[in-house]
Structure 1
């Protein structure tokens, strides 16, 4: 029953958003806040203030207090003026989605929005709200602000920023002006690496499989080879040449572990899909940190041997998008 009630409430809210706030698919940038996109209502403090003014007005009428009338109308005029100021604090702002760096599941995604203020006046006390999280900021006259909205991640895959609210209660906190929009901004959420994974499978035979592979580098002396015209003079074996030997070049190299073949099908059968992805993510990170080349094989796709930041990102992205999971938008503001 609880699940049905929650689903019904979400459906009704989505229908209300589409009808009242004209919320639909993602919007193309820039998103400009024109007059018809800004809504104004009193806050809880504003309703309490209105109630106090009503009580003061009734008392002034009952006791025929001229100063009471003047105070009520003065405070009422200030409240009405705050409606205009709150509305103008949002009017004309332009919003552009910037970026969101990939994160691991469980970390906080930082959605960055670029908000431009074309007016030669300061825009104070603004607030962004999405996924139940808040970000407060100000914008100077004719300036732009990059605002980072932190959102927790609970599922791997593509996390959309989704329904976002830009609001203000400036200047008195009695009136809330807000606008709702859906920017085209997603965050790629990698699967969380397994905390203490077992050692990755070691394939290979002979000395290379047991001891590793010799690669060009500059860490350890690995022997001499015939001199080439492109070799640095610093690497020439001058002592050998002085003894009447041929011109040779000192060879330096790095010893690194064997190449890894990370395959979904070789994982233990008792691991479910998400656990397999977490273990593969941990192995990919270990291989990259250890300076080893690695390949990744998933059902329906494969990534060849490689190494480096670009290869790491490619493998982690394949793990994040495996099965095309849809990350929920979370609690709406």
Structure 2
């Protein structure tokens, strides 16, 4: 007996080959994508098959008993069913698919792929469902309008992640006919590394011995901020906690330390690469939240010193793509 794992590869390649030929799928389709006539498929739903069998039984009974009203009712209902095929097909015809907002997320969080459906017809399109392997969204389109949808997916690893295979379908108007189209849009989202939950305080610079110095930042009191799990007990403002009952920490501005320095080579030698990236990501996120200036040093790349949201994105992007191929992986 052939093991299942030996058949998995050939069966997967055969399935993808059939999909490409049947649904005319490409590795990644440039946007916008317009649903032409040849890309839309139509078949009865389960209710449609039952409806068809009922009409067939009604036709046999009308023939057997020569019922004129039975013939009229059978052909009337058959005409309604045929009309629903036309309406279901027209609901998807010439629909355009484009990319919407694609906010980056950290690995382990839920990715949100933005998708824009638009059309130029003067009639509304109703009961449209957009489906991926992980989520589905229903929407209606007003005449000559567009709608922005959000599809979610898990993020198992850092780097680029595609939206994957997309199915757009409708059973409008009666639920008897399903019209659908399958496509693979070129929509990708950047996944940052996960942030370490209990990272130690970040370093602030490099001393004369070449080792990083801890960021004390205790020179000037700058105010209070929300407590973070990585704060030491001495940073907690215990008097303010006693008054308000809310856990807050003291924030300082140190003039001697200068910009923070997050250096790959100053992390423990035995720390795995992914753990290093998670710790550096935590330091970058915390520094951006405190509006500090920092420098990120990776093998062969130095970013900063700088501050702000753009610098945060550049650093997290460098961490997300560190030692990965920069090309976007193929869709599943």
TM-score range, shorter chain: 0.7 to 0.9
2: CA distance between counterparts of 1:301 and 1:205?
Answer: 21
1: CA distance between counterparts of 2:46 and 2:215?
Answer: 71
Matched, 1:320 2:320: yes
* CA pair 3-189 structure 1, distance change in 2 beyond 3 A: farther
Classify the secondary structure of the residue corresponding to 1:59.
helix
Q: TM-score, normalised by structure 2?
A: 0.78
* CA pair 297-204 structure 1, distance change in 2 beyond 3 A: closer
1: CA distance between counterparts of 2:123 and 2:21?
Answer: 33
Q: Is the 8 A contact 1:109 1:153 kept in 2?
A: yes
* From 127, 133, 136, the counterpart of 1:134: 136
1:159 is matched with 161
1: CA distance between counterparts of 2:280 and 2:180?
Answer: 44
Q: Is the 8 A contact 1:127 1:167 kept in 2?
A: yes
* CA pair 104-22 structure 1, distance change in 2 beyond 3 A: same
1:287 is matched with 287
Matches within 5 A, 1:168-179: 168-179=170-181
Matches within 5 A, 1:115-134: 115-134=117-136
* CA pair 198-214 structure 1, distance change in 2 beyond 3 A: closer
* CA pair 173-184 structure 1, distance change in 2 beyond 3 A: same
* From 79, 89, 93, the counterpart of 2:81: 79
Q: What RMSD, in angstroms, separates the aligned Cα atoms of the two structures?
A: 2.9
Classify the secondary structure of the residue corresponding to 1:52.
helix
1:143 is matched with 145
2:90 is matched with 88
Deviation of 1:202 (Å): 5.1
Q: TM-score, normalised by structure 1?
A: 0.78
* From 76, 87, 108, the counterpart of 1:106: 108
Q: Is the 8 A contact 1:157 1:327 kept in 2?
A: no
Classify the secondary structure of the residue corresponding to 1:99.
coil
Matches within 5 A, 1:1-333: 1-201=3-203, 203-204=205-206, 212=217, 255=254, 258-324=258-324, 329=331
Deviation of 1:87 (Å): 0.4
Q: Is the 8 A contact 1:258 1:292 kept in 2?
A: no
Deviation of 1:268 (Å): 2.9
* Offset from partner CA, 1:90-135 (integer Å, 9 cap, x none): 1122222233111111222222222221110000111111233111
2: CA distance between counterparts of 1:288 and 1:56?
Answer: 72
* CA pair 204-214 structure 1, distance change in 2 beyond 3 A: farther
Q: Is the 8 A contact 2:260 2:292 kept in 1?
A: yes
2: CA distance between counterparts of 1:300 and 1:49?
Answer: 67
Deviation of 1:7 (Å): 3.3
Classify the secondary structure of the residue corresponding to 2:100.
strand
* CA pair 156-210 structure 1, distance change in 2 beyond 3 A: closer
Q: Is the 8 A contact 2:126 2:141 kept in 1?
A: yes
* Offset from partner CA, 1:147-203 (integer Å, 9 cap, x none): 222222222111112322211110011111112222222100111111122222454
2: CA distance between counterparts of 1:318 and 1:273?
Answer: 14
- Select the structure of larger CA radius of gyration: 1
Q: Is the 8 A contact 1:213 1:258 kept in 2?
A: no
